[in-house]
């Protein structure tokens, strides 16, 4: 099993002499980008020397995305008994698929983007929370199509 970036010429071995029906590897060793895999199979173990056959197959390009989305513009303000929280999430390679918030370390609660659908690499979020007087911490986290997550928090007094 070999891998190469789509703009690279040289195949790099991932593993030789795989005997299992599947192979998994840690893709975090590779920078984000488009890659191809090449699998070469041989029937040499079950044939006499000189009669073995080999064949190779290359995959379609696929994306390795290990970088989480970025949260920017996290802001909060108190408006009476409510906390108004806003932020922007952006991912360089895939869509932002999920956002959640937690008030004062409580359960994570899913929040929809202002446009209603998580279908873009750039999304804005806004929420209003009922909160008693005093200090509160709101944590937000976002996730992209490849399950990469990032989180930020803001303290409101």
For residue range 37-57, list pLDDT tens digits in order.
999 999 998 999 899 999 999
Domain boundary among 64, 88, 111: 64
74 plus 134 within the same structural domain? yes
Q: Are residues 107 and 31 in the same domain?
A: no
Residue with token string 């040289």: 10
Are 82 and 100 in a shared domain? yes
Range of the domain at 143: 70-156
User: Which helix or strand (DSSP H or E) is residue 95 part of?
Assistant: none
In sequence order, what E strands does the chain have?
Answer: 2-5, 12-13, 33-42, 54-58, 62-64, 70-79, 82-90, 96-103, 109-110, 122-130, 136-144, 149-156
Return d(Cα 64, Cα 116) in angstroms, integer.
27
5, 33 contact by CB (below 8 A): yes
Looking at the structure, tell me whether residues 74 and 16 fall in a common domain: no
| Cα first-last separation, the chain | 56
CA gap 141, 148 in Å, rounded: 10
Please compute the mean of the pLDDT values over residues 99-113 and round it to a whole number: 98
Domain count, the chain: 2
Entry pTM = 0.82
Per the CB < 8 A criterion, the answer to whether 138 and 129 are in contact is: yes
**Residue located via tokens 């929040």:** 111
Q: Could you tell me if 98 and 81 lie in one domain?
A: yes
Are 111 and 97 in a shared domain? yes
pLDDT at 62: 97
Whole-number pLDDT of residue 125? 98
Rounded to the nearest integer, the mean pLDDT of the chain is: 96
Do 58 and 77 share a structural domain? no
Single out the residue in 49, 64, 79 at which a domain terminates: 64
Shared-domain flag, residues 75 and 150: yes
φ and ψ of 45, to 5 deg: -60, -20
* Residue 69 per-residue DSSP state: P
Residue 96 confidence (pLDDT): 98
Shared domain check, 129 and 93: yes
Q: Which residues contact 47 (CB under 8 A, 6 or more apart)?
A: 53
State what percent of residues in the chain have pLDDT above 90: 92
Is residue 86 domain-shared with residue 139, that is, in the same domain?
yes
Provide the residue count of the chain: 157
Same domain, 56 and 76: no
């Amino acid at each position: 099993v070999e891998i190469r970036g789509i703009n690279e010429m040289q195949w790099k071995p991932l593993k030789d002499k795989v005997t299992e029906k599947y192979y998994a590897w840690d893709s975090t060793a590779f920078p984000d980008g488009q890659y191809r895999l090449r699998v070469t199979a041989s029937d040499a173990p079950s044939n006499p020397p000189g009669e073995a056959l080999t064949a190779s197959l290359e995959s379609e390009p696929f994306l390795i995305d290990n970088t989480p989305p970025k949260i920017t513009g996290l802001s909060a303000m108190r408006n009476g008994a409510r906390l108004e929280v806003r932020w922007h999430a952006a991912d360089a390679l895939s869509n932002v698929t999920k956002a959640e918030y937690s008030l004062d370390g409580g359960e994570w609660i899913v929040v929809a983007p202002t446009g209603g659908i998580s279908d873009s690499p750039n999304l804005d979020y806004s929420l209003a929370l009922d909160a008693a007087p005093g200090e509160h911490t709101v944590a937000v986290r976002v996730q992209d199509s490849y399950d990469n997550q990032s989180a930020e928090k803001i303290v409101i007094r």
